[in-house]
Amino acid sequence: MNVIENIEKENIPNLKFNRKEVLERQEDIDTRMSHLYRGLLLGNLLHEKVKIVFESADQKIYQVNTTIWSIAPDFITLKGSVAIPVNSILEVD
């Protein structure tokens, strides 16, 4: 199992991402979107942070605690215009 490394959102732009989907099952992909929208509401309405676990192009696993500012079909945006591709996100809590 890969070790999850904490990362500050300001360091995310230094990472490279693959275009491949990190989740295998459609059910998990649907759940991820549901959790992303829940995180968006928590951040915008209650200023709550969520934990986002994602994979970089070199297959390292990172975790960031932050607010989700917006969701587009292919990526999410965090404060400071930091973007993470949706297909790289493993978990949102």
User: For position 2, what pLDDT does the model report?
Assistant: 74
The whole-angstrom separation of Cα 60 and Cα 16 is 11
Residue 79: predicted pLDDT: 84
The two structure tokens encoding residue 57: 């192009």
Task: Render pLDDT for 9-61 as a digit per residue (tens, 0 to 9).
Answer: 999 999 999 999 999 999 999 999 999 999 999 988 888 999 999 999 999 99
Query: What is the per-residue pLDDT for 69?
Result: 93
3-state helix vs strand vs coil in the chain, percent to 5:
30, 35, 35
Q: Is the pLDDT of residue 80 over 70?
A: yes
Query: Any idea where the domains of the chain sit in the sequence?
Result: 4-92
Return d(Cα 31, Cα 4) in angstroms, integer.
21
> What's the CA gap between 79 and 49, in Å, rounded?
11
